[in-house]
Structure 1
Amino acid sequence: MTTAPIARIALVGDRSPHVKSHTRIPVLLDALASRDGLVLDAYWIPTGDAGAEAAAGTPARFDAVWVLPGSPYASEAGVLAAIRVAREEGIPFLGTCGGFQHALLEYARTVCGQGDAAHAENDPGAADPVITPLACSLVGHEGLVRTEPGSLAEAALGAERSMERYHCNYGPSPRHLPALAAHGLRLSGHDEDGQVRIAELPGHPFFLATLFQPELHGDGTRPHPIIRAFAAAAVAHAARRTDSVSGRLAATLAGSRSAG
């Protein structure tokens, strides 16, 4: 019987008992292991440490990176650095709520070349922020989300539509969405009013960001399909890493025997 490898996952966020999504993490990890056989070895990385960790290449040693809700973060720069490493190194990535907002912000700055792109929560005086206050707060809101056919979002959800829970006051400015899409980001989920609620990166092993919080699905004992899909991508990444190490070891041993 083949046992799935244990995946190392970085949880980027300023952990707090007052953030409900943070308190759900242990429940979700237990459920993923017991119900789905997806074992994640989770490490919390405070945003204040994330920048230095990214510079040291730490996120690249993980099998997945999850930027959790809880903005405003202690370090915007740390969050953006962790997202960039996951995006550029092909590490499975999930960003929820604030993680979604900062995934779009990182993409605007790094890929679209908008060095002055701003998040209005962090920089309320910004002239033209990429992330702006929502016309109507979504704190405590639940709403329908539709996914685009053939998208990662649709595959992860296993459905074209779903009811999702929010806890946020900020979202992407419609004015900046065409530039994000033109540079390759797929805006793959929308609410009933056509507002973007999911973004993903085609060609990446798993790069998905949601404005809603799948952590708040049910009581946490049956993980949201997106969280299961993310966990499966992390385990698949761990398996590839293990196979790569085993392959290099076998080649080294074979070379040693030949030399002898």
Structure 2
Amino acid sequence: MLGFGKSDKNSDKKGKCKFIVVTGGVISGLGKGVITASIANVLQAHGYNVSAIKIDPYINIDAGTMRPTEHGEVWVTDDGGETDQDLGTYERFLGKSISKLNNITTGQVYQKVISMERNLDFGGKCVEVIPHIPEEIERRIKEVAEKEKLDFLLIEVGGTVGDYQNVLFLEAMRRMNLKGDPMVFVHVVYLPIPKSVGEMKTKPAQHSVRMLNEVGIQPHFIMARSEKPLDDVRKEKISIFCNVKPENVISNPDLEYVYELPLIYENQDFTENILRKFDIKYKKTDGLDNWRKFVNNIKTAEKKVKIAIVGKYFDIGDFTLEDSYVSVIEAIKHASGNKKVVPEIVWMDSKDFEKDENKLQKLNDIDGVIVPGGFGSTGIEGKILVAKYCRENNVPYLGLCLGLQIAVIEFARNVCGLEGSNSTEFDKNTKHPSVCILPDQVEKMKKSQYGGTMRLGGQDVKIVENTIAEKIYGKNLIRERFRHRFEINPELIENLKNKGLVFSGMTPDNKIMQIIELSEHIFFMGSQFHPEFTSRPINPNPLFTKFIESAIKISDSRSL
């Protein structure tokens, strides 16, 4: 019996996609994205074609217009989507690109249904929330499954069971299950350990499962999130009161390294139990060997490198930092893990340097500096001061998107002698624009067309021969992901070149400069693209790898 629907004894036949739905209860922020990605990871390791969908209940069409401090980082897909950051988690754990179609929002669903009604696609029927909204949700899910010819599709339902916003998505899951689609439900719950009591409590989890039952769904697995591993007493209690077999109550304690989670699942026979639900025979695999090696590297590394991230999205508390720059952090971890070093990340607010330039001396103890992407003029002058310090003091510098533009502005001012040079994004009246808006963006901005209108997604980058970039990438054509409206001013390029700035990457037609470097510096590079979006645990982005190698050299030189 699959949920409240019919079992499908033929679900293991080739071409029949199986669906695994991940829901959450008790509290938000349980890490359903990492859990979904980890389940996908272990299934992929067993040789199955796997992908994942993130359902976001908000009305926004996509994540592109939301503030990073409110919703977290905007993840850019290769096909040009501005999506939820959980898609980045899926890509990192699966090691492959995922389409923008894999992010479904309430806004997209309603927009499509209303558009169909306007086009008479419903043939004059009365269009209603039920059944038409769940039917559109189901159509989108199955579109992904069929397009990719998947064996398994994970579906992460955003929010918490009991929220008004995700009721229609849960209804869509119930209807798919009722129709006989092969489905397994995994419910993630939180087990608190109140200090005053001193023991793990299961009552909130029990109530959460009952709320899920009320919408017609019985979970097959309970994922028990807590500070500590689940003991047998609580496992038995959850099994009895939540109507789940004890072996299907999975311990999911807090971890120092989230990449360890697939291995923890494999050790609890989670994969075998999932496959059994679909009447698929389990076979042991060595598909996790490389993953296990990476995890071992990060757990056993001892040497530290101190990396500063100089950002601007710090205004509502430290708890927002990791979500705002999560892909940059993970890319640092990938490169560091493969080099067997521990990255010590130091957060620096660029506005602090604007108030007091003496604080730049903090960079003396830093082994490498990253200036990530961003928008708006806040904190820009502080970032320019940081770029200048790194250039003059041989501190490894990696500028990402805005970080490249910052480096160019600084170089134009202080090396080319163009006083007051700036980006027209920050100063429309600058006499020496070193960064300007892309030509195709001018009309869009006049019409206030902001959503999904930037230069987005995967683009080819031509690498110039005999440059540091060529040595790093080892080839002359690469593909990276972009999200920007502004570019280096084409009229200033020759002046910058003559003063020593090397343009080592550009569009194949040579029109847009996409990588800069300083050949005499230990590491001073900027990319108009976001290399963090193509970094993976087993295969870190080469630009981050070279940056970490340079940081290790700086760290080693301190001990001489």
TM-score, normalised relative to structure 2: 0.41
Q: Is the 8 A contact 1:21 1:69 kept in 2?
A: no
Query: For residues 323 and 438 of structure 2, what CA distance do their matches in structure 1 show?
Result: 21
Which residue does the alignment assign to 1:14? Answer: 312
Query: For residues 131 and 95 of structure 1, what CA distance do their matches in structure 2 show?
Result: 14
Query: Using a 3 Å threshold, how does the CA distance of structure 1 residues 197 and 25 change in structure 2: closer, same or farther?
Result: closer
Query: Using a 3 Å threshold, how does the CA distance of structure 1 residues 66 and 154 change in structure 2: closer, same or farther?
Result: same
Are positions 1:217 and 2:521 aligned together?
A: no
**Matched residue of 1:131: which SS?**
strand
Shift of 1:155: 1.4
Q: Which runs of 5+ in 2 are unaligned?
A: 1-300, 315-319, 442-453
Which residue does the alignment assign to 1:102? Answer: 406
Which residue does the alignment assign to 2:482? Answer: 166
Name the amino acid aligned to 2:469: A
Query: For residues 97 and 19 of structure 1, what CA distance do their matches in structure 2 show?
Result: 18
Which residue does the alignment assign to 1:254? Answer: none
Residue of 440, 444, 462 corresponding to 1:146: 462
Q: Is the 8 A contact 1:94 1:207 kept in 2?
A: yes
Are positions 1:61 and 2:378 aligned together?
A: no
Query: Using a 3 Å threshold, how does the CA distance of structure 1 residues 105 and 230 change in structure 2: closer, same or farther?
Result: same
Q: Is the 8 A contact 2:401 2:529 kept in 1?
A: yes
Shift of 1:157: 1.7
Query: Using a 3 Å threshold, how does the CA distance of structure 1 residues 24 and 53 change in structure 2: closer, same or farther?
Result: farther
Q: Is the 8 A contact 2:335 2:541 kept in 1?
A: no
Are positions 1:226 and 2:530 aligned together?
A: no
Which residue does the alignment assign to 1:255? Answer: none
Residue of 507, 510, 513 corresponding to 1:196: 513
Query: For residues 364 and 499 of structure 2, what CA distance do their matches in structure 1 show?
Result: 24
Q: Is the 8 A contact 1:21 1:215 kept in 2?
A: no
CA RMSD across the alignment: 2.3
**Matched residue of 1:24: which SS?**
helix
Range with bigger deviation, 127-136 or 216-225: 216-225
Q: How does 1:28-107 map to 2 (within 5 A)?
A: 28-51=331-354, 54-56=357-359, 57-107=361-411
Query: Using a 3 Å threshold, how does the CA distance of structure 1 residues 200 and 30 change in structure 2: closer, same or farther?
Result: closer
The 4+ residue runs of structure 1 with deviation greater than 6 A are 18-21
Q: Which runs of 5+ in 1 are unaligned?
A: 244-260
Query: For residues 160 and 4 of structure 1, what CA distance do their matches in structure 2 show?
Result: 36
Which residue does the alignment assign to 2:326? Answer: 23
**Matched residue of 1:167: which SS?**
strand
Query: For residues 18 and 62 of structure 1, what CA distance do their matches in structure 2 show?
Result: 19
Range with bigger deviation, 42-51 or 95-104: 42-51
Query: Using a 3 Å threshold, how does the CA distance of structure 1 residues 4 and 175 change in structure 2: closer, same or farther?
Result: farther
Query: Using a 3 Å threshold, how does the CA distance of structure 1 residues 124 and 162 change in structure 2: closer, same or farther?
Result: same
**Matched residue of 2:307: which SS?**
strand
Query: Using a 3 Å threshold, how does the CA distance of structure 1 residues 146 and 67 change in structure 2: closer, same or farther?
Result: same
Name the amino acid aligned to 1:41: E
**Matched residue of 1:130: which SS?**
strand
Residue of 473, 484, 491 corresponding to 1:157: 473
Query: Using a 3 Å threshold, how does the CA distance of structure 1 residues 54 and 225 change in structure 2: closer, same or farther?
Result: farther
TM-score, normalised relative to structure 1: 0.85
Query: Using a 3 Å threshold, how does the CA distance of structure 1 residues 220 and 40 change in structure 2: closer, same or farther?
Result: same
Which residue does the alignment assign to 2:418? Answer: 114
Which residue does the alignment assign to 1:181? Answer: 497
Query: Using a 3 Å threshold, how does the CA distance of structure 1 residues 125 and 221 change in structure 2: closer, same or farther?
Result: farther
Query: For residues 226 and 45 of structure 1, what CA distance do their matches in structure 2 show?
Result: 22
Shift of 1:214: 0.4
Query: For residues 47 and 163 of structure 1, what CA distance do their matches in structure 2 show?
Result: 30
Query: Using a 3 Å threshold, how does the CA distance of structure 1 residues 216 and 206 change in structure 2: closer, same or farther?
Result: same
Query: For residues 321 and 538 of structure 2, what CA distance do their matches in structure 1 show?
Result: 20
Q: Is the 8 A contact 1:27 1:221 kept in 2?
A: no
Shift of 1:182: 0.7
| Residues 106-126 of structure 1: CA deviation (Å, up to 9, x unaligned) | 000011110121111101233
The structure with higher relative contact order (CA 8 Å, sep 6+) is: 1
Shift of 1:127: 4.4
Query: For residues 191 and 69 of structure 1, what CA distance do their matches in structure 2 show?
Result: 20
Are positions 1:205 and 2:522 aligned together?
A: yes
* Seq. identity, %: 24
Q: Is the 8 A contact 2:422 2:434 kept in 1?
A: yes
Which residue does the alignment assign to 1:247? Answer: none
Name the amino acid aligned to 1:213: H
Q: Is the 8 A contact 1:47 1:73 kept in 2?
A: no
| Residues 162-221 of structure 1: CA deviation (Å, up to 9, x unaligned) | 001001111111111111111111111111120211111111111111111101115666
Name the amino acid aligned to 2:495: A
Query: For residues 372 and 538 of structure 2, what CA distance do their matches in structure 1 show?
Result: 18
Shift of 1:30: 3.0
| Residues 54-89 of structure 1: CA deviation (Å, up to 9, x unaligned) | 523111221111111013252221001100110000
